[in-house]
Structure 1
Amino acid sequence: MLKTIYAYGTRRTESSMVGLVDLRRHRKSPQFGQFGSLAVRYGKSSKGAPPKRRTVLLVPEMDWVVDVLGEWVHEVRPRLAPGRHPALWVTERAGRMSPRSINEAFTTARDAAGLDGALDLHCLRHSYITHLTEFGYPARFVQVLLSPQRCVHDVQHEAERGGDLCGGGGYLPPSITQVFGRFDAGATGADARLAA
């Protein structure tokens, strides 16, 4: 589950609500089979609005998740005897995994790996976005892929750690994020990093 969250860049609640039917083929990526894209039906919503829908494509650099998902869907999940339950991630009691239990799974894995306790599940999404940028995907592609709207959801402001994204990168200047929906071309350089 955690590998899938990282491979598609989904949020905790989005991941909890994913169903088997949300794993879909994509015509431009037939090599990934039924895992070419992920339909997010319960995405982050605007205040007072219903959940946003979007489709997240599996990028070739994350193709390792095809084997992971295949094993879960065809071998492990059936052993839990979920019956006709639509959820992709089910518990041993054949119920849907809650956002809280997903968070607890991340915390357990993080602690077992000896990682910093300040890391939370959303860091997987931040890493996904950073890696897409490092793989050379245009910033506009990353923005559209991850945002249900035509703007970046949130941008982190932290001290610059390095001159490029591989070294930690810099962040968008506050002036860009103070205007809703603005995506400045200056945000695509080595001095910027997107975080949704």
Structure 2
Amino acid sequence: MAATVDDAIARYLDHLTVERGSAANTIASYTRDLRRYEVFLTGRGITSMSAVTEADVRDFLVALRRGDPDSGVRGLADSSVARTLVAARGFHKFCAAEGMTETDVAHAVSPPKPARRLPKALPVDDVVKILDAAGIGDGPRSLRDRALVELLYSCGARISEVTSLDIDDLDLEHRAVVLRGKGGKERIVPVGGPAIDAVNAYLVRGRPALIKKFTPAVFLNVRGGRLSRQSAWQVLVDAAERAGVDKEVSPHTLRHSFATHLLDGGADVRVVQELLGHSSVTTTQVYTLVTVNTMREVYATAHPRAR
């Protein structure tokens, strides 16, 4: 007797839990996605795994994206659809390997390509306002906050790269810093004069007042421990509010702005790639689209024969 969809899902989830040792969050996510898939198949009158076809898998993805307007159910974002497909493909691959189906009907089904979203860079004037508003005053926390935000923009660093900095990662004499990116990959990035001044001021007058016991961490919280990503994020958000910048601002906004401003200034895209720590120049090239769009806007408003 052919396996039912319900039994097959139960066996696959048990496989993930017992044999693969998947995390609880992963199991919960797969359970949610596969039960949604089961409801879809049941609605088509399909209860046996042998009856599922590649067309059913593809139609399931379409249904996820479309939603159910009559019931007020909104369609899922492409990223969520892609995540659900990962669960469905893993499920069907398992079923084929276990002999519950003759073939893997989901093997040739690809996730939807996400829409290309251009990073939102801030104008230079807005960045300067944020930098000026960060760490107003001369107290230890103010000195820390100014150094943190200056370093984020000066290096185009990810928030995790800055909060994980240790003292030995700083080479202030040669105006450089060692950043550890994704996968622990290290890169050396130059640091601008204002950021060097801010970091020096913090190390001399701010950090000694925050430190409680020995720690190699550069940026400390009020308890003397390493500053968390969440706290560092809040430092930037607070600075943007004080500066009166009403656009959405995050650490990645400064990273986008760093890259865009360099390219606007004539920097080579491969140099920017190295500074950002991108493994592929293709990832960096999205920033060139930002500058092209900016040029189009300037041309459209400034050239007498643009229209």
SS at match of 2:294: coil
Q: In 2, Cα distance between the equivalents of 1:85 and 1:149?
A: 31
CA change 1:137–1:72 in 2 (3 A) is same
Q: CA deviation at 1:112?
A: 1.5
After superposition, residues 132-143 of structure 1 pair within 5 angstroms as 132-143=262-273
State the TM-score, normalizing by the size of structure 1.
Answer: 0.67
Root-mean-square deviation (CA), in Å?
A: 2.6
**Worse overlay, 150-159 or 128-137:** 150-159
One-letter identity of the residue aligned with 1:51:
G
Tell me if structure 1 keeps the 8 A contact 2:165–2:217: yes
Q: CA deviation at 1:9?
A: 0.9
Tell me if structure 2 keeps the 8 A contact 1:5–1:124: yes
After superposition, residues 164-183 of structure 1 pair within 5 angstroms as none
Q: CA deviation at 1:145?
A: 2.0
CA change 1:162–1:88 in 2 (3 A) is same
One-letter identity of the residue aligned with 1:23:
L
Deviation sequence 1:74-115 (CA, Å, 0-9, x none): 111111134321111001110111111111111111111121
Q: In 2, Cα distance between the equivalents of 1:159 and 1:131?
A: 9
Q: In 2, Cα distance between the equivalents of 1:150 and 1:133?
A: 17
Tell me if structure 2 keeps the 8 A contact 1:82–1:90: no
After superposition, residues 16-95 of structure 1 pair within 5 angstroms as 16-24=163-171, 33=173, 36-41=175-180, 43-44=181-182, 50-58=183-191, 62-95=192-225
Q: In 1, Cα distance between the equivalents of 2:296 and 2:272?
A: 17
Map of 1:162 onto structure 2: 294
One-letter identity of the residue aligned with 1:96:
R
Unaligned runs of 5+ in 2: 1-147, 299-307
Map of 1:7 onto structure 2: 154
One-letter identity of the residue aligned with 1:17:
S
Q: In 2, Cα distance between the equivalents of 1:136 and 1:162?
A: 14
Q: Which has the larger radius of gyration?
A: 2
Structure showing the higher helix proportion among its residues:
2
SS at match of 2:189: strand
One-letter identity of the residue aligned with 1:144:
E
State the TM-score, normalizing by the size of structure 2.
Answer: 0.44
Unaligned runs of 5+ in 1: 25-31, 45-49, 168-196
The number of equivalent residue pairs is 150
Tell me if structure 2 keeps the 8 A contact 1:129–1:142: yes
Tell me if structure 1 keeps the 8 A contact 2:260–2:291: no
Q: In 2, Cα distance between the equivalents of 1:161 and 1:149?
A: 25
One-letter identity of the residue aligned with 1:4:
L
